[in-house]
Structure 1
Amino acid sequence: MSVGSDRPVGRRGRRAKPVPRGRRVLRIIGLCLVVLVLGTAGAGWWFYDHLNDNINSVPLDGRGGTEKADSSGRTPVNILVIGSDGRTSEADCRLGGGCSGTGVQSGSNADVELVVHISADRSNATVMSIPRDTMTRIPACRDSATGASTPGYYGQINSALRYGPSCQVATVHQLTGIPVDHFVKLDFAGVVKMSDAVGGVSVCVSDDVYDTYSHLKLAKGDHMLKGVAALEFVRSRHGFGDGSDLGRTLSQHIFLGAVIRKVKSAGTLTDPTAVYRLADAATRAVTVDEGLGSVKKLIALAADVNEVPERRITFVTMQTKPDPEDRDRVVVGEGAESLFTSIADDRSLTPGPGDRTRAGAATDSAEGSTTPEPTATASAVPASGIAVSVENGTGVSGRAAAVAATLTADGFSSGTTAVNAPRPAATTTLTYGPGRWDEARTTAAALGLPASRLREGARDGLTLVIGDDWPSGDRYPGATASPAPADAADEVSHAHASTADQADTCAEVSRYRTVSLDGVALTPSQAYARAGDEPDSAP
């Protein structure tokens, strides 16, 4: 398709288009794997089949909803990550305990539930924790593997896993309205395998902590956690926050952020031995749906995650309030519906690295304990101070000039220009330079651009490329359905939002008497001081 004319543009020799860093890393990984398998004298098929044979996959029944494609035909990916408390093997009995009277058990609960949303354009991701103590309606379910069934009931959300992963997916979809097309399930042994495979995970704790239930024992400061110590950390619900499952979700976000940084680091992804170790451990550690049930599909998923910058992977916890029928349980709280809608509509919570509003944490409950409120202080820049370079990437003559005229009529700077794009564009994008997020937000609001159309770039200023998805009109098609929001206060309020690039965040040790030692109720720090003979979980 030819690019429509707006103004003569001189031709210059073009340099080869630079390969994005994420793709360079993936090519390096691929090269390392090729060298690895070819160097073993024809063992390539063995390697591939070995990994495929590791994978345990089960079917989903289609009750998780269906993702909506964007105007370019791309679809988001939503995955329910389930941490099972099942003691369904001798290894899980040793790690989780509780099998002394029963031995290996059948059935399990979903003690960890994370909705992982990867945007359609792969520019951002959201990881939302659903506390296991949430009360909701469990739909009618039947587990095709075990035959366990239920006509449906009102109960704790984590209990749906007793009727199979499909039931857990259907329950989360029913509660949130978010389409969920895949799941990944790990048990106790799986967490140990993965933490060992990445060479340990670096975490920080704010004070000395000894959770006498999960057995996590760490001195104040930084630690490299491997194996059982990593499992103790992610399982600890009495060591952090207010001693409830809500506090545990925050420490899990810190752990996951550290895992993401470790796996995305060059040292991990360019080491063939590390890549093999990760691939072998990952395929052994998880159960997935059939849609992810091959090495090829899991590699494609890893590639999608690798495209997302760490600063645009946002962790949040579903807002809750006490269940009026049981103060030890919670129900969906104020703000949760806005968060669900943002994820379902593929709206980013972190569209710009300088936008602290979308990465801010919110005030929360426990006895006056607070974390910083979303600032929302990045005030919109007046239109009169914003000049936009509008480029026509469509086959429609005059599109850039028309949009530029709309902007100047709305009060934007007379320095706004209209030119041809250097190449045709299928989708419209607004690229902003360093420190220009506020200007981009003002421009997007004027034109009705959704947040998914905003991009950060290295060049100064704002460049709006009109794509084939916007062939006519002054406002972006469907602008009323999903405009770029001024801030994310509703979505992240009381959701403890953080991003994966926050390497200096420590897990806050509980100040309350949440643990017991020799029959005495103590704070985790007091328990640490009294248990001097008990070895620490990690140096």
Structure 2
Amino acid sequence: MAGGGGSGASGAIPGPRGGRRGRGSGRPPARRGRRVLRWVASVLALLILGTAGAGYLYYRHLNGSIKTDALNLGDTKLGGSKPNAFGQTPLNILLIGSDARDGDENKALGGGRDTFDGPPLADVQMLLHLSADRSNMSVVSMPRDTLLKMPKCTAPKGEVHEASKGLVQTNMSLQRGGPGCTVATWQELTKIPIDHFMMIDFKGVVSMADAIGGVPVCVEQNVHSRTREGHGSGLKLPKGDNVIQGEVALQWLRTRYGFEDGTDIGRTRAQHMYMNSLAREFRKNAKLSNPVKLNSLAQAAIKAMVVDPGLNKIDKLYDLSMELKKVPTGRITMTTMPWIQSPRDINRVEPKPGEAEELFRMVREDIALDGKGATPAASPAPSAAPSTPPVTDPAAPPGRIPVMVRNATGGKNTPEGKVKNRASEVATLLIGKGFGKAMADRQPAAEDTTVIRYAGLDQAGDALAVATAIGLPPSAVQRSTDVSGVTLFVGKDWRSGPTITPPAPAPTKAPDSARALNGDDDKACMRIQEGFTW
């Protein structure tokens, strides 16, 4: 029998529910029984729908079961993901695990009677990024004990939750109006536009794990997640490879005491291993060709979900699942946001300066976290570099290229305000470079970085010519339906002067502190915490 209470037992402080806790510990163990499978269920539901094939029509009657909530309750609206130079659009989906203890089924799944029908916490948060060319998928987990500034959120019924004056634990965002505030919190921190969210409760997940015949996992030693005080998930597995399902799968995803250092960081690692293994099983498991079984599984998953209005139909979920299926498991990369122990609270964490932003930037710029870049087959223009727009026609002479210039130097979170007459200044600069048809545009805009957008493929060469003239890289050229011709958005990074300072090159691989795990890594094995072996 294992001894000890895990690494977070000392220095306990009140947590969001009012209990005593150490870093990563959360509320009493019985209350953690459901929250950790939420993100699994969301991806699982999509994979189920995506493997349906002929059984697709079975799901149409489920439309009335899909629950929705507002996508973004914050003041900052980044809009959806922007198409790349090829006109391909990435997708960012926030997976939220609510610990809501409402309904008989949820209440029956693991104690916590003192919190029945109380306000929920967003105890699992994972951003799933599907690349624009569908060649790769990245997942970024945020530890639930991360301290952040909360943005102002306005609930659907009008209740206003003002921006926090200090740092607040990230899992409390859900109590500030709903999942739309969790989305707003992520966008404020990462500047990543989030296209959809899926929030999941626990109902039906165990039966899904059973239906695929179990999920292979590995532990480096015999493990028993149980302290002398009776805390822990109860997971008991022998050393080596195991196939888990049902309640044991639940225990695996709950386990904190017994994995690595006994914190939520180790638990996240175990969840990543499970998710990768689950994806591999779905790809090869023939059972899921049974439409009757698929219908039952999808029904359980969909009834457990809350989604944004953009995913409120079976057709939309099915289409999304088909996009996810395009990514081979070897191009799926699971990561955890790089973090440091908070200098304000030893039992909490904060984003690691530099390296957390590097990870977020890679997602923003659609750079694969595995360091492999785009696959050659994914490029619509084999003769062009991956970041270069497909040029169907050569650029016209500069004097014949109409260029609209918009002043995008202002916007929210710009204390110095918009630079007056900046569009006119840059238009004059372009005229001096031979672009005689350049002119200032009065339409409002706000961009962190300077970009050039164009409407049709026959304008790609012209847009590249403008970029070259002012020293912008090809990656700053985007195809967009929001403009009618070549349009230069002068961003906050070019507030003055005749030349723009190009940004430092983005990383080409996730930092080591993100602990990247590849979807094809079937040799991954969980390290066991001292004192929890048998």
TM-score, normalised to structure 2's length? 0.63
Contact 2:94/2:183, CA 8 A, preserved across alignment? yes
Q: 124-133 or 90-99: which moved more?
A: 90-99
Change over 3 Å in CA distance of 1:469–1:237 after alignment to 2: farther
C-alpha distance in 1 between matches for 2:349 and 2:278: 29
Q: Secondary structure at the match of 1:337?
A: helix
Question: Equivalences for 1:297-376 in 2 at 5 Å?
Answer: 297-334=316-353, 335-350=355-370, 352=372
C-alpha distance in 2 between matches for 1:166 and 1:241: 33
Q: Secondary structure at the match of 2:346?
A: strand
Give per-residue Cα distances to partners, 1:318-353, cap 9 Å, x unaligned: 000011111110011030001001101111123539
Partner of 1:279: 298
Alignment partner of 1:131 out of 140, 143, 149 = 143
C-alpha distance in 2 between matches for 1:296 and 1:29: 14
Partner of 1:161: 174
Partner of 1:420: none
2:532 maps to amino acid = P
Change over 3 Å in CA distance of 1:500–1:467 after alignment to 2: farther
Give per-residue Cα distances to partners, 1:458-489, cap 9 Å, x unaligned: xxxxxxxx998457779898336599979635
Q: Secondary structure at the match of 1:316?
A: strand
Alignment partner of 2:223 out of 180, 189, 209 = 209
> What percent of counterpart residues are identical?
36
2:173 maps to amino acid = A
Change over 3 Å in CA distance of 1:48–1:509 after alignment to 2: same
Partner of 1:68: 82
Alignment partner of 1:251 out of 270, 285, 289 = 270
Contact 2:48/2:297, CA 8 A, preserved across alignment? no
Deviation, 1:242, is 1.0
C-alpha distance in 2 between matches for 1:390 and 1:149: 53
Change over 3 Å in CA distance of 1:205–1:28 after alignment to 2: closer
Q: Secondary structure at the match of 1:112?
A: strand
Deviation, 1:192, is 2.4
Partner of 2:489: none
C-alpha distance in 1 between matches for 2:311 and 2:159: 24
Superposition CA RMSD, Å: 3.5
1:478 maps to amino acid = P
C-alpha distance in 1 between matches for 2:311 and 2:180: 14
C-alpha distance in 2 between matches for 1:506 and 1:467: 52
Deviation, 1:305, is 0.6
C-alpha distance in 2 between matches for 1:276 and 1:292: 18
Partner of 2:528: 509
Q: Secondary structure at the match of 1:261?
A: helix
Contact 1:312/1:351, CA 8 A, preserved across alignment? no
Change over 3 Å in CA distance of 1:486–1:321 after alignment to 2: closer
Alignment partner of 2:91 out of 69, 77, 85 = 77
Contact 1:191/1:230, CA 8 A, preserved across alignment? no
Deviation, 1:149, is 5.2
Question: Equivalences for 1:89-108 in 2 at 5 Å?
Answer: 89-99=103-113, 102=114, 104-108=116-120
C-alpha distance in 2 between matches for 1:76 and 1:230: 31
C-alpha distance in 2 between matches for 1:345 and 1:354: 12
1:186 maps to amino acid = I
Which runs of no fewer than 5 residues in structure 2 stay unpaired? 1-46, 227-231, 376-381, 396-456, 478-502
Change over 3 Å in CA distance of 1:354–1:301 after alignment to 2: closer
C-alpha distance in 2 between matches for 1:152 and 1:193: 40
Change over 3 Å in CA distance of 1:141–1:396 after alignment to 2: closer
C-alpha distance in 1 between matches for 2:159 and 2:217: 39
TM-score, normalised to structure 1's length? 0.63
Deviation, 1:72, is 2.8
Partner of 1:524: 532
Alignment partner of 2:55 out of 9, 19, 33 = 33
C-alpha distance in 1 between matches for 2:339 and 2:384: 45
Change over 3 Å in CA distance of 1:199–1:292 after alignment to 2: farther
Deviation, 1:178, is 1.3
Give per-residue Cα distances to partners, 1:128-184, cap 9 Å, x unaligned: 000001000112224437x77532323100111122111111111111111112111
1:78 maps to amino acid = N
C-alpha distance in 2 between matches for 1:337 and 1:469: 30
Contact 2:220/2:525, CA 8 A, preserved across alignment? yes
Change over 3 Å in CA distance of 1:113–1:500 after alignment to 2: same
2:169 maps to amino acid = Q
Change over 3 Å in CA distance of 1:179–1:94 after alignment to 2: same
1:53 maps to amino acid = G
Change over 3 Å in CA distance of 1:307–1:269 after alignment to 2: farther
Which runs of no fewer than 5 residues in structure 1 stay unpaired? 1-24, 35-43, 356-388, 399-465, 512-522, 530-539
Q: Secondary structure at the match of 2:108?
A: helix
Contact 1:93/1:103, CA 8 A, preserved across alignment? no
Partner of 1:520: none
Partner of 1:456: none
Change over 3 Å in CA distance of 1:217–1:149 after alignment to 2: farther
Q: How many residues align?
A: 378
1:342 maps to amino acid = M
Contact 1:124/1:309, CA 8 A, preserved across alignment? yes
Contact 2:49/2:298, CA 8 A, preserved across alignment? no
Partner of 1:296: 315
C-alpha distance in 2 between matches for 1:293 and 1:486: 35
Give per-residue Cα distances to partners, 1:273-324, cap 9 Å, x unaligned: 4433442232123221111111101101101110011111111100000111
1:479 aligns with 2:474: yes
